């Protein structure tokens, strides 16, 4: 027997489908941004780019507050919210939410949720990606923000002789360990020695307080020309104490973090501005969210130009005045006498 469906039922069902489609279409596009130390410059650059370009995106920022114990719950929160895109800031957060290639292969901890990482110092060394220019993971895109160490050393050598480079770091920070190994390998090619000082750690893997002066004293005794901060959340968070201890022992600090020069007492930095890195990440996010580009099809993006900053107050204090070729190129901060 042929069943006849009443036209009113068909009409009602069609209206329901239409309302469901409209509701789905009207749902805001959401980005879950997992950050390590608050919504800093890169996070703000990301949000500003989307807002200024009129992209209708709700950005939900979740902050670990430098506490690794929060990362597991952030992963669960991201999976529960099931946003249109997860953006991760930093190596620790990225490994916690996306996972390494050795652990998950081409897949990630987020399942089908697309992901985009930024502010990861060495994504290849951290096993987040499989090759330099592509992530090798279909649901993952990424931004490279680090200036290579050979560029850093060449910039320093434009300023002063570099035969011994001192580094102070925590072995609990993977970025710092990888960066130091890379620096030592580069030293063989560029003829400089790397002198290491490691922080003593407590039972939780955090540096014991009050070690800056003792580490700088030992580096000074070993005759280093410069103390280099390539990648260290701890040194960055303690920029003033770190740089002031170095200056006390006559050691200039060169950093890959611009804020250690502009907001503290490092002498020179060669870096990509985090705000601009965040803008670049937002540009890639827009391609994923609004142009339908698969994250894994996007090449690892990076800024085409870097910035150099020199702290003139520190230069005067240490009688290390920059040569004219750097003065013409660099961003000079604290130029007024007495600052």
Q: Are 214 and 239 in contact (CB under 8 A)?
A: no
What mean pLDDT is predicted for residues 153-175? 96
Q: Are 76 and 308 in contact (CB under 8 A)?
A: no
- For residue 304, what pLDDT band results from cuts at 50, 70 and 90? confident
Arithmetic mean of pLDDT over the chain:
91
Region label for 90, one of left (φ > 0), alpha (ψ between -120 and 50) or beta (otherwise): left
Instruction: Determine the pLDDT at residue 334.
Output: 87
Measured distance CA(243)–CA(132) in Å, rounded = 33
Comparing 28-144+274-302 with 149-271+306-333, is the CATH topology the same? Answer: yes
Measured distance CA(258)–CA(41) in Å, rounded = 11
Measured distance CA(89)–CA(169) in Å, rounded = 20
- Percent of the chain, pLDDT > 90? 84
Instruction: Determine the pLDDT at residue 196.
Output: 98
Instruction: Determine the pLDDT at residue 65.
Output: 93
How many CB atoms neighbour CB 54 within 10 A? 7
- For residue 146, what pLDDT band results from cuts at 50, 70 and 90? confident
Alpha helices, DSSP H, located in the chain: 7-26, 41-52, 71-81, 91-97, 101-104, 149-159, 174-190, 212-221, 233-237, 239-248, 259-262, 274-290, 312-317, 324-329
Its pTM stands at 0.80
What mean pLDDT is predicted for residues 205-216? 96
**Residues β-bridged to residue 76:** none
Instruction: Determine the pLDDT at residue 335.
Output: 72
Task: Return the higher-pLDDT residue of 24 and 289.
Answer: 289
The tens digit of pLDDT for each residue in 17-34 reads: 443 333 334 578 999 999
The tens digit of pLDDT for each residue in 77-119 reads: 999 999 999 999 999 999 999 999 999 999 999 999 999 999 9
Task: Return the higher-pLDDT residue of 6 and 204.
Answer: 204
What mean pLDDT is predicted for residues 35-58? 97
What mean pLDDT is predicted for residues 277-296? 98
What mean pLDDT is predicted for residues 286-291? 98
- For residue 121, what pLDDT band results from cuts at 50, 70 and 90? confident
Task: Return the higher-pLDDT residue of 25 and 259.
Answer: 259
User: Position of tokens 């009602």?
Assistant: 12
Q: With the C-alpha atoms ordered 235, 236, 242, 247, is the resulting torsion angle positive or negative?
A: positive
Task: Return the higher-pLDDT residue of 125 and 298.
Answer: 298
pLDDT at position 2 over 80: no
What mean pLDDT is predicted for residues 297-301? 97
CATH architecture label of 28-144+274-302: 3-Layer(aba) Sandwich (3.40)
Instruction: Determine the pLDDT at residue 305.
Output: 85
pLDDT at position 47 over 80: yes
Measured distance CA(180)–CA(149) in Å, rounded = 10
Q: Are 98 and 110 in contact (CB under 8 A)?
A: yes
pLDDT at position 12 over 80: no
* C-alpha separations of 274 from 89, 114, 259, 261 in Å: 11, 22, 10, 14
Window from 144-148, 159-163, 220-224, 295-299 with minimum mean pLDDT: 144-148
Q: Are 139 and 297 in contact (CB under 8 A)?
A: no
Q: Domain locations in the chain?
A: 28-144+274-302, 149-271+306-333
Instruction: Determine the pLDDT at residue 17.
Output: 40
CATH architecture label of 149-271+306-333: 3-Layer(aba) Sandwich (3.40)
10 Å CB burial of residue 17 (0-12, 13-18, 19+) is exposed
Instruction: Determine the pLDDT at residue 27.
Output: 75
């Amino acid at each position: 027997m042929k069943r006849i469906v009443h036209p009113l039922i068909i009409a009602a069902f069609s209206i329901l489908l239409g309302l469901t489609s409209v509701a789905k279409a009207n749902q805001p596009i959401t980005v879950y941004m997992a950050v390590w130390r608050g919504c800093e410059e890169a996070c703000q650059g990301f949000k500003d780019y989307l807002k200024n370009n009129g992209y209708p995106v709700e950005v939900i920022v979740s902050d670990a507050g430098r506490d690794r114990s929060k990362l597991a719950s952030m992963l669960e929160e991201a999976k529960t919210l099931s946003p249109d895109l997860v953006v991760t800031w930093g190596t620790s957060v990225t490994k916690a939410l996306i996972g390494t290639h050795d652990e998950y292969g081409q897949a990630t901890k987020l399942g089908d949720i697309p992901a985009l990482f930024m502010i990861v110092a060495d994504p290849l060394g951290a096993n987040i990606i499989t090759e330099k220019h592509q992530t090798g993971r279909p649901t993952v895109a990424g931004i490279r923000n680090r200036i290579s160490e050979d560029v850093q050393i060449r910039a320093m050598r434009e300023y002063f002789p570099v035969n011994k480079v001192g580094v102070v770091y925590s072995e609990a920070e993977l970025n710092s360990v990888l960066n130091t190994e890379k620096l030592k390998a580069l030293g063989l090619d560029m003829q400089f020695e790397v002198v290491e000082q490691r922080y003593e750690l407590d039972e939780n893997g955090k540096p014991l307080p009050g070690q800056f002066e003792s580490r700088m004293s030992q580096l000074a005794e070993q005759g280093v020309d410069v103390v280099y901060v390539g990648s260290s959340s701890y040194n960055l968070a303690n920029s003033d104490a770190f740089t002031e201890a170095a200056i006390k022992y006559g050691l200039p600090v060169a950093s890959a973090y611009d804020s250690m020069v502009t907001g503290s007492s490092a002498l020179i930095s060669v870096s990509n501005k985090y705000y601009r890195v965040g803008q670049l990440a937002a540009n890639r996010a827009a391609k994923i969210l609004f142009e339908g580009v698969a994250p894994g099809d996007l090449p690892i993006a990076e800024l085409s130009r870097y910035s150099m900053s020199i702290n003139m107050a520190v230069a005067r204090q240490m009688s290390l005045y920059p040569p004219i070729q750097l003065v013409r190129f660099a961003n000079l901060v604290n130029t007024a006498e007495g600052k």
